[in-house]
Structure 1
Amino acid sequence: MVHQGGGLFYIVNVYAPCTISGKRKLWQELLDFKSNKEEGDWCLGGDFNAVLKAGERKGSSALNRQSERWEFRQFVEGMEVIDVPVTGKKFTWFSADGKVMSRLDRFLLSEGFIEKGGVSGQWVGDRDISDHYLIWLICSKLDWGPKLFKFNNCWLDHAEFKPFVENLWGNLQIEGKKAYVIKEKLKRIKEELKVWNKEVFGALDLNIEKTVKEINEVEGLIASDDIVAGLVDKDGIQQRFWEQLHYKESLLKQKSRMRWVKDGDANTRYFHASIKGRRRKNQIVSLKKDDA
């Protein structure tokens, strides 16, 4: 466990047993440990003695390990970690005769660890007398320049948006040619909208949690006759709750461009991971020459 820069990081060095019973015990212990930690980012690295896909083994039968692969994937999902893209060699372990090879070693990272560490992948290097290859994390924070202005569609649904923009446009006093005036007004409004968006939508998740708590408290008071139902605007609180959910869903749809949002899967951890996962896949980690 490491405290750094105001963040909490759990670094786990893994050396998994060879037996399936031993692996199950290790996986469950890690899952139980994580369930007791409300916050923090995770880095699991080492020899897991298991693979996620059949293609990560060569020279041995993959049929008798289907159950193990499935259980390993369930563990990865439960830990909410990601097998970041791998470059270099395909396998990390070779048998003594060189006929059997597997990708037993890897880093599994949480989204927060990837973002804060600027991790773009993992590199499988060389080995010496060991039968396992060394693995490095590739950390290279990408500088894309100034953050681009993005118009969020959910702004149009907010009652304050239109009056806010109209008031800004009318009160901005800029002299010059028409084209210059329009350009400068749009520039100023863009900056003001960034501030407005942060104030109104910046704490959306927190506001949703507060509203849910408020609804539960009001319903508890009404049920226990500790308050007169007519004195509490329960409908107003619920209306606010649904508006907040609508804003949240609109933001997620715009970020993801994924069709299955329509089926109600917007508010899941996997949904958020998919958005960030696509960004990682679009990164160029390394280049390969034809003659290399």
Structure 2
Amino acid sequence: MTIAKMDLFKKKLGFKKEEDSPALGASGGLAIIWDPRNALFTPIEKRRNWMCGRVNFYNKKLKFNLINVYGATQKRDKALAWLEIETFLKNNPNEVSIIGGDFNAILKVSDKRGGSNKLSVAAIEFVNRINRNSLMEIQIVDNTFTWNNRRKGFNNIEKKLDRFFIFGGLSNFNNTMEAEILPISGSYYPIQLEILVEQGPKNCPFKFEQMWYKDENIFKLLEKWWKEEEVLVSKMFIVANKLKIIKRKLLEWNADHFGNIFDRKQSVETELKAVNTEVLKSGMDETIFLREKALLKDYEDILAKKEIYWRQKSRES
């Protein structure tokens, strides 16, 4: 990823800070980006195929080491990277570390569909390293494979190359974690980890959601609602009652127009998964291409609204 693309990606997510290990030619390349308003990231190590740092969330009492991995393809480079990671873990035995990325290897036969049904020497060595370092895998919800060659029939091969592990034990990490594969079209499917932090109940006063600005008609609707409702009270209370009416109208409009962005995201993801399955089964045609294009457009719009939603929430917390 070029510097210009990285800057664009950070801007899109609303993040401001970045630590990276650049690619060598067409291979490798790692980056960790974060929002300094919510968390402090302190770089610790940066190597060719992995990098790590300390993550400390300000308001969540949540901290851990984050290790970002891009699995080497050459046996020698792979062994060196693992030796470095193992040394880091041994030097920090009492700290929780989350290790994630593309490991360029599978752990078991069921992590692959198509092609040879035997574990390679690299896969067996991967299994041994996971067991030797007492790494616990964070299971992926629903989907299984993170890479496919997009070929038809018997030529199709799918693998689970991306995953997350935790070092230090879940007993030392009092949070629920969920890993899921994002159904973005292509050979690689991004994987994300959500850490669910328990929070006590709090009042939820009405707020004007920033994502409502995504609708170009919002100001016309506000003006329309302000004018159409007659308030039969003294002038002293006209503004207050008008605002109550606007609040009710906005909530109704939000439910009808935006709905629950999380439910919509899940619905579109399900449709995209069905499209990808159809492509792998029957190949791509014009109808499927147009359907996929429309779904991806909806998905990008939902993700943009979700980012705005969480960005606003982070400022309020």
Normalised by the length of structure 1, the TM-score is 0.43
- Over alpha carbons, which structure has the higher Rg? 1
- Structure having the larger proportion of residues in helix: 1
